[in-house]
Chain A
Amino acid sequence: DARVTQTPRHKVTEMGQEVTMRCQPILGHNTVFWYRQTMMQGLELLAYFRNRAPLDDSGMPKDRFSAEMPDATLATLKIQPSEPRDSAVYFCASGLGLRSNNEQFFGPGTRLTVL
């Protein structure tokens, strides 16, 4: 059955290194979200795309984070340079917007540890 996939599932890196996380949304979905989840802050929205266009990235630290959708089957979230405070689980979600109760289908997440 259709699922959102994310790679890698786990990433351990050192401070200052570049990290790229990838997401394949469900085929046919026109909205894509990136979230970060930590114990302290819960689920925070980082970026939102509709029809591959970025509509909101106000939750994202602009100096080090960037999100793109090079095509309809791939969304990327990049951190450069990474810092220990970026350690979190990063979720990608896709959906059909208002046509489907705004239901979001979440991927399994990428657990990032920055040492």
Chain B
Amino acid sequence: SQKIEQNSEALNIQEGKTATLTCNYTNYSPAYLQWYRQDPGRGPVFLLLIRENEKEKRKERLKVTFDTTLKQSLFHITASQPADSATYLCALGLPLKSGGSYIPTFGRGTSLIVHP
């Protein structure tokens, strides 16, 4: 069966440490992988995209890796701050059943809590 797995347990870390979140998938061959942030009561906000032929992408304190052999993406936030506390969703770019377009299919997200 096809699955996108993110840790359902919240990740608790101390301010200043690096947070690492994991997105694993099975039986998919995504064209790309995205990470979104979602705050309570709000819609997800796009953070980063990494394509299938890329190994790593960085943006400010964020770093994403993509290993298509392991079928895994890691999302890192360095020097974490309490304001980084949120739920982080990964989304795989998968083809429509009708073919043609690749559109995001979301995991269920992992909650990150950064303690001061």
Contacts and interface: CB of A to CB of B under 8 A. Distances in A.
Interface string B79-104: 00000000001000100111011111
Interface in A13-35: 33, 35
B42 to A, nearest CB: 6
A65 B7 CA distance: 31
Interface in B58-116: 89, 93, 96-98, 100-109
A33 B103 contact: yes
B44 A103 contact: no
Interface residues of B, number: 24
Main secondary structure of the interface of A (DSSP, over half): strand
Q: How large is the interface on A (under 10, 10 to 19, 20 to 34, 35 or more residues)?
A: 20 to 34
B45 to A, nearest CB: 7
B63 to A, nearest CB: 17
3 cross-chain pairs, A with B, having the tightest CB-CB distances, nearest first: A106-B43, A42-B108, A43-B106
